[in-house]
Structure 1
Amino acid sequence: MSDVPRSERPAMIRSRLEHSLSIDSLEVQDDSHRHAGHAGAQAGGGHYSLRIVSDDFAGRRRLQRHRLVYDAMGDAMRNDCIHALSIEALTPAEARSQSPESQ
């Protein structure tokens, strides 16, 4: 897994999440450039931010939602492919309530 080129990792993240969860919307951002010089970044692991909207998060607490995401990522989280993952996991209703149109 660690041999996945950095440029292909956002697509790999997207693919794993779409395969495991019912996704309404998904944003994957590579933040690795902001962590240059960080020990994990030097080892080759990337830093990524996710904003994921899914009905699968309904009725689940934040930790449970993050566990669903980590489970979907599988071995990518246990090797040097992904060093850090920032997760914003929302239900569709929560995402709508955050949108500028709803305010």
Structure 2
Amino acid sequence: MTVTDEINTKLTEAFGPSRLRVVDESDLHAGHAGNTGGGESHFRVEISAPAFAGMSRIARHRAVHAALGADLVGRIHALALHIEG
């Protein structure tokens, strides 16, 4: 399973989002820190779910990180999040 698939699966299971888009942007960071050339290091996630309603930006980010888990987050160099409730 790719990291993209893992992110999709974990966030879908945790939040049942109405919208979820996971983009591997690793190729845009060639030569930058954390990019080993194999991809799957830099991601952008756009997610919208009722579960985020009323949460602060920090609480939303913490919830996503918790849903992904320390192991998966530890394998990702950069994770840009756009979260809507």
Q: Give 4+ residue runs of structure 1 displaced > 6 Å after superposition.
A: none
Greater C-alpha Rg: 1
Which is richer in helix?
A: 1
Question: Pairwise CA RMSD of aligned residues?
Answer: 1.6
Give the counterpart of 1:55 among 36, 50, 53.
50
Q: Which runs of 5+ in 1 are unaligned?
A: 92-103
**Partner Cα separation in structure 1 for residue 23 and residue 79 of structure 2:** 10
2:72 paired with 1:76:
yes
Shift of 1:11: 1.0
Percent of paired sites with the same residue: 36
TM-score normalized by the length of structure 2: 0.88
**Partner Cα separation in structure 2 for residue 52 and residue 28 of structure 1:** 8
- 2:30–2:37 Cα contact (<8 Å) kept: no
Comparing 48-57 with 36-45, greater Cα deviation is found at 36-45
